[in-house]
Structure 1
Amino acid sequence: MTERERQHKQVLREFDNRRLENAKTHKLRQQEIYKLLPEIEQIDNQLNLDGVSLIRNMFNQLDNREQYQQQTNNLILQKKALLVENGYSRNYLEPIYNCKPCKDSGFIDNQRCNCFKQSLINLAYKQSNLDNLLATENFTSFDFSLYSPEVIPEIGKSPRQQIKYIHDNAVLFIEDFKHTYNNMIFLGKTGLGKTFLCNCIAKELLDKGHTVLYLSSSQLFKLLEQARFDKENLTSNSRNILQAIYDSELLIIDDLGVEAMTTFVPTDLFNIINTRHLNHLPTIISTNIDINDWAKLYSERIASRFIGNYVLYRFIGMDIRLYKKYGTNI
């Protein structure tokens, strides 16, 4: 079962529980009113009898729908008037729905209702590990002015020109996501916006209904270590994340290189990037490890996969966190 299928199944369960809870509340309201206003119970009983009578007459080819409708309307008006007279809302005994268009089924004419789509998005946000960050770290708050416009002679570009180039390619990555398989590596020193741009991409894709999993490299390899040595104590959420590493539509590994290095890290990393590559599932990796050190730190075959299957985007300039704090690049 893929991450998308698991999320779909979980949302279906949530809608089932929602309907059950609302039906329970409706039943309690009905019992309350019947006890206080027995005449309303009589009206409901009469409405049920009239409905049965209408069906029987239709089977006998007697069409009295107009008379039935008029009588039903009169009874409903009496019922609502009694409720209002006794301090209740006129709709107090109506069925309770969080979403009236689909009546909490999640579907309208076999198509997903907007409420169901939004529930999937909300769940994807929660399971992406980015739920809180994306409210502030997104394309609407992306600020090019934080990057210096001064050209770096040995590169021939300014940090601002370079970040605009990377930004535009990130937008293309999102636009082509459904139809084109691409992987990206964001390479650069700390504080240049690599993680921020990862979060921008994640938010856009989550809002479009795609499954995204974000993990720092420390989180990733710690989880894999637990799965290897302490599997029986894994929580259900951890098990879901482990599966999502391999089947989420986008995996983001942030800060590759800061993890505690063990003999298992190169093998685990290769299995992840290779499995996802074989299944054409995109991966974005951010790192400050220079390309010349990939083979030395991990392995030749990992360096080969990175060079052959990923597009490298190099972030340049000075630490923008310092710029935000002190108002200057130092």
Structure 2
Amino acid sequence: MSHYHQLLNQCESLELTRIRELLPMSLDEATQNEKTHVDWLCELTAQELTYRKKERQRKTLVRAMFPYHKRLSDFDFSFQPSLKKAEIQDLHTLRFLDTHDNLLFIGNSGVGKSHLAISIGMECIDKGYSCLFITSTELVNRLSRAHKRGTSDTLLKKYAGLSVLIIDEVGYLPFSREGSNLLFQLINLRYEKKSTIITSNIPLSQWSEVFGNKKLTNALLDRLVHHSKLIQITGSSYRMKAYSDQKELSKNTARNKTK
């Protein structure tokens, strides 16, 4: 076996995926341009590092479980005049992570709460932070199943260790007593250690109806609100706007056909 083919095999064994892929072309280029060994190796290893960074981000993005990928640039601020654009842009600098602040997006269904939470989550992944997006119902169900199996401590520790945890749709469905307790444990574990982003369609004053225990709700809110930024969105629903636009488009199309 030639040294060249041995080198290819060694790259594969060392999992130097990008270097192995670029090696033939890189050797040709180095020969033609008379590059030094140091310059050649420096460029090749830089390509490997870039590839690994992108792969880590790709895998982290998959693990984040976003239902869709949307950025801040996709958000229509003109449709939500109650929001201060500069304030939302500042959140995307991720300064709130330095002080472990929580973000609470409160507003009616369809106003863009999840969109903004996801855009911040994607920004976190770009900067190398771990992130998970999950609905409150699914989160509580997972914790409850783990509790029945006797593995809730392990799962709580896993979720508590995430740099950013996005809990979507708090308030759509009430929780059982066990579920409420487990969610409180998770919030307590993350308190002043990690940032949690929550979206809810009901005001904080009504959360006791969801958790079914006023004392527990107060304790949970105390930990969430202590270091937090509350973003209230009072505008109209994007979904209803899209529906109205589509309906109007259909009417116009029908009119044109009859002409």
- Compute the TM-score of the two structures, normalised by the length of structure 1: 0.57
Q: Does 1:114 align with 2:33?
A: no
Which of 218, 225, 235 lines up with 1:307 in the alignment?
Answer: 225
The separation in 2 between residues aligned to 1:201 and 1:240, in whole angstroms, is 27
Q: Does 1:133 align with 2:39?
A: no
Counterpart of 1:245? 159
The separation in 2 between residues aligned to 1:160 and 1:282, in whole angstroms, is 27
Ranked by relative contact order (alpha carbons within 8 Å, sequence separation 6 or more), the top structure is 2
1:168 offset after TM fit, Å? 2.6
State the secondary structure of the residue aligned to 1:206.
helix
Asked if the contact 1:163–1:315 (Cα under 8 Å) also holds between the matched residues in 2, the reply is: no
State the secondary structure of the residue aligned to 1:99.
helix
Letter of the structure 1 residue corresponding to residue 244 of structure 2: Y
Which of 225, 234, 252 lines up with 2:144 in the alignment?
Answer: 225
Q: Does 1:324 align with 2:242?
A: yes
The separation in 2 between residues aligned to 1:324 and 1:118, in whole angstroms, is 34
1:315 offset after TM fit, Å? 0.7
Which of 178, 181, 188 lines up with 1:264 in the alignment?
Answer: 178
State the secondary structure of the residue aligned to 2:177.
coil
1:178 offset after TM fit, Å? 5.4
1:142 offset after TM fit, Å? 1.9
Asked if the contact 2:174–2:209 (Cα under 8 Å) also holds between the matched residues in 1, the reply is: no
Q: 1:318 to 1:295 in 2, by over 3 A?
A: same
State the secondary structure of the residue aligned to 2:230.
strand
What is the alpha-carbon root mean square deviation over aligned residues?
3.4
Letter of the structure 2 residue corresponding to residue 133 of structure 1: Y
- Bigger drift between 208-217 and 302-311 goes to 302-311
Note the 1:16-35 alignment, pairs <5 A: none
Counterpart of 1:144? 77
The separation in 1 between residues aligned to 2:154 and 2:148, in whole angstroms, is 17
1:119 offset after TM fit, Å? 1.9
State the secondary structure of the residue aligned to 1:307.
helix
Deviations for 1:192-220, whole angstroms, at most 9, x for unmatched residues?
Answer: 00000011001111111110011101110
The separation in 1 between residues aligned to 2:117 and 2:219, in whole angstroms, is 25
Structure 1 segments unaligned to the other structure (5+ residues): 1-40, 49-90, 148-158
Asked if the contact 1:223–1:242 (Cα under 8 Å) also holds between the matched residues in 2, the reply is: no
Kindly tell me the number of residue pairs found equivalent between the two proteins.
215
Q: Percent identity?
A: 22
The separation in 2 between residues aligned to 1:113 and 1:177, in whole angstroms, is 29
1:271 offset after TM fit, Å? 1.0
Q: Which structure: greater helix fraction?
A: 2
1:302 offset after TM fit, Å? 1.6
Counterpart of 1:62? none
1:167 offset after TM fit, Å? 2.0
The separation in 2 between residues aligned to 1:166 and 1:181, in whole angstroms, is 17
Q: Does 1:281 align with 2:194?
A: yes
Larger Rg: 1
Asked if the contact 1:295–1:303 (Cα under 8 Å) also holds between the matched residues in 2, the reply is: no
Q: Does 1:167 align with 2:80?
A: no
The separation in 2 between residues aligned to 1:161 and 1:181, in whole angstroms, is 25
Structure 2 segments unaligned to the other structure (5+ residues): 12-16, 24-43, 212-216, 247-259
Asked if the contact 1:213–1:244 (Cα under 8 Å) also holds between the matched residues in 2, the reply is: no
The separation in 2 between residues aligned to 1:284 and 1:225, in whole angstroms, is 21
Q: 1:291 to 1:218 in 2, by over 3 A?
A: same
- Bigger drift between 304-313 and 184-193 goes to 304-313
Counterpart of 1:67? none
The separation in 2 between residues aligned to 1:178 and 1:185, in whole angstroms, is 14
Q: 1:261 to 1:211 in 2, by over 3 A?
A: same
Q: 1:168 to 1:123 in 2, by over 3 A?
A: same
Deviations for 1:197-247, whole angstroms, at most 9, x for unmatched residues?
Answer: 011001111111110011101110110111011458x9xxxx986543110
1:163 offset after TM fit, Å? 5.0
Q: Does 1:190 align with 2:126?
A: no
